[in-house]
Amino acid sequence: MTRQRERFLQRYGPRALVTGASSGIGREIAVQLAAAGFDLVLVARRETLLRELATDLTGRHQVDVRVLALDLALDAGVQKLTAATAGTDIGLYVAAAGFGTSGPFLHADLDQERAMLRLNCDAVLTTSLVFGRRMAERGRGGIVLMSSVVGFQGMPNAAHYAATKAYVQTLAEALHVELRPRGVDVLAAAPGPTHSGFTERADMRMGRALSARAVAQGTLAALGRRPTALPGLLSRVLKDSLAPLPRRTRVRIMGSVMAGMTGHQHTDTATKENATKETATKETAE
């Protein structure tokens, strides 16, 4: 183990809690923490994937891995998480669970948007308060909240998702200042477009994008050093190129970017509508 990893484990060990650990950035963070010697509590909805990951990490790194199959978009899931970890000495909390939606706001499914709000914001609020208090009592710890470069301005065609990330970003920035005197480091990780399970659920298609591994590495390297991490060159280029511009200009530019990643939705919808019309015409003719 390198000295850097030893210091990291000493500062934030012995055990880390990672939500959204079954895939994407959450999974990669869990892999890298296990390699650093952390015991883990892994949380996600898909128990089979969690157990497969736990078996792999235990075998490769001889760490203890607990699995909690929970849906944190539900109040019951958050309550079970806080109760199940009440007697566990968790020094690092990584809130990587979340999902996004894309497309015109007026076409949104309200139930899905509310579920996103509960997972991306309400669950983060509750768990940050619970684990923040526990870490403050122990006098040390770290909290990582997953923001996004879309959280620095509005984003047409992903309006509500960007709003949830703006919430996470501002919460993390404030907690970074509030909790630091209590020995707790708080970081907002704000990556750019990343290849992960998120993009499939949001029905987005991306060309250039970061790998989940690169985002995980950049995030963990920044913890304790700054309030916000922009992991990966693409994240920094996006943020720095937009920063000098007026906010309304940034909104329009990001809207154009999102339109490029979601343009297929309109094509797919039109194709389906045409297919439906052709079927109806054929049935009428018969």
14 secondary structure, DSSP code:
S
The catalytic residue among 93, 165, 239, 277 is 165
- Phi-psi bin for 85: left (phi > 0), alpha (psi -120 to 50), beta? alpha
Q: Which helix (DSSP H) or strand (DSSP E) does residue 19 occupy?
A: strand 15-19
What is the residue type of 34? A
CA 7 to chain centre: 25
The catalytic residue among 12, 93, 161, 167 is 161
CA–CA dist 96, 23 (Å, integer): 10
Based on the residue annotation, tell me whether 161 is a catalytic residue of this protein.
Answer: yes
Radius of gyration of the chain from its Cα atoms, rounded to whole angstroms = 20
Q: Which helix (DSSP H) or strand (DSSP E) does residue 90 occupy?
A: strand 90-95
Among 189, 233, 188, smallest CA distance to 25 is for 189
Based on the residue annotation, tell me whether 167 is a catalytic residue of this protein.
Answer: no
- Which residues, 6+ apart, have CB-to-CB distance to 119 below 8 Å? 72, 73, 97, 98, 99
- In 3-state terms the chain splits into helix, strand, coil percentages (rounded to 5) of 60, 15, 25
Cite the active site residues: 161, 165
